[in-house]
Amino acid sequence: MRDPSEILAKYGAEEGLIKPSTRVYQVDASRIRELVQELVREYGENRVFVSTIVGIDRPQDGKIEVDIFIEVLGFKPAYCIKVLVPRDDPRMPSIVDILPSALVGELEAHDVLGVVFEGNVYLRRPVFVPEEIASKGAYPLRKDFKV
């Protein structure tokens, strides 16, 4: 069985380590589903899961960074798949149908940053954000959000 880093390296460039034990790979949004499907084929659906998804607003670059933290049971370190989407149209394919553990992270990134995970039939607002903020179309983790 291959090390997961071999598979990840096929899809994106390794950017180094964060924390003491998480490898980061930048992957194009158009390849995320293919990557996740290959991980599941290689290790099985019961050994690959999303531990969290983190969104970061990068207005100076015109991007929103979506970090998908993936664990493959039996392998260390953990892996962070970094995807950059345009801030003015933050869309990327959903992986929730492949890895259901991505659901809460996709819902949160959508609710607080406006990232649209195409194909996620559960995407809606509000989930975590109060109705009075969501009803205005505001995203509280964007740097230009005003209270």
Domain ranges in the chain? 4-102
pLDDT for 52 = 97
Check residue 98 and give left, alpha or beta (phi > 0: left; psi -120 to 50: alpha): alpha
pLDDT at 139 over 90: yes
Average pLDDT over residues 35-59: 98
Q: Per-residue confidence at 19, pLDDT binned at 50, 70, 90?
A: confident
- The residue-averaged pLDDT of 68-72 equals 98
What is the per-residue pLDDT across 73-92, written as a single tens digit (0 to 9) for each? Answer: 999 989 999 999 999 999 99
pLDDT band at 1 (very low <50, low <70, confident <90, very high): confident
Residue 35 pLDDT class (50, 70, 90 cuts): very high
Average of per-residue pLDDT across 122-134: 96
* pLDDT computed for residue 84 by the predictor: 98
Contact present, 36 and 91 (Cβ < 8 Å): no
pLDDT value of position 147: 75
Which CATH number applies to 4-102? 3.30.460.80
Q: Tell me 130's DSSP state.
A: -
**Do residues 126 and 112 make contact, with C-beta atoms less than 8 angstroms apart?**
no
